[in-house]
Amino acid sequence: MESVIRCIGSVLMYSLGLSFRWWEIASLASLVPIIAFISCMFAPESPVFLVKKGRLDEAELSVSRSFGPEYDSRLEVRLISDNLKELRETKTRKSDYVKSIKSHPEVYKPFFIIVFLSLVQQFSGVSVIRAYVVKIFDEVFSDFGHHSVDSLNTSMIVTECTSESQTSSMAYVSAILIGVCRLVSSLTLARLLKNFHRRSMYFISIVLTILCLITFSSFSYLISNPELLSLHNLSILRWASLISACCLVFSVQLGVQTLPLLLSGELFPADVRASCKGLTRAITCIFLVLSVKMYPQLESILSLSGTFFMFSIVMFIFFPAVYFILPETKDLSLEMIQHYFTPQVTVWYTDSLP
Question: What's the CATH number where 287 sits?
Answer: 1.20.1250.20
Task: Identify the pLDDT of residue 307.
Answer: 94
Residue 158 located in a structural domain: yes
Per-residue pLDDT of the chain (354 residues; tens, 9 = 90+): 777 888 888 888 888 888 888 888 888 888 888 998 998 888 888 888 888 888 888 888 888 888 888 888 888 888 888 888 777 765 555 666 666 667 777 788 889 999 999 999 999 988 899 889 888 888 887 754 444 333 333 333 334 444 345 667 788 888 899 989 988 988 888 888 888 888 888 999 999 999 999 999 999 888 888 776 666 678 888 889 999 999 999 999 888 988 888 888 888 877 778 888 899 999 999 999 999 999 999 999 999 999 999 999 999 999 999 988 888 877 776 667 767 776 554 444 444 444
Supply the range of the domain harboring residue 189: 104-341
Residue 287 located in a structural domain: yes
Residue 115 located in a structural domain: yes
Residue 260 located in a structural domain: yes
Residue 134 located in a structural domain: yes
3-state secondary structure the chain: CHHHHHHHHHHHHHHHHCCCCHHHHHHHHCHHHHHHHHHHCCCCCCHHHHHHCCCHHHHHHHHHHHHCCCCCHHHHHHHHHHHHHHHHHHCCCCHHHHHCHHHCHHHHHHHHHHHHHHHHHHCCCHHHHHHHHHHHHHHHCCCHHHCCHHHHCCCCCEEECCCCCEEEHHHHHHHHHHHHHHHHHHHHHHHHCCCCCHHHHHHHHHHHHHHHHHHHHHHHHHHCCHHHCCHHHHHHHHHHHHHHHHHHHHHHHCCCCCHHHHHHCCCCCHHHHHHHHHHHHHHHHHHHHHHHHHHHHHHHHHHHHHHHHHHHHHHHHHHHHHHHHCCCCCCCCHHHHHHHHCCCCCCCCCCCCC
Number of domains, the chain: 1
Residue 63 located in a structural domain: no
Residue 97 located in a structural domain: no
Task: Identify the pLDDT of residue 313.
Answer: 96
Residue 75 located in a structural domain: no
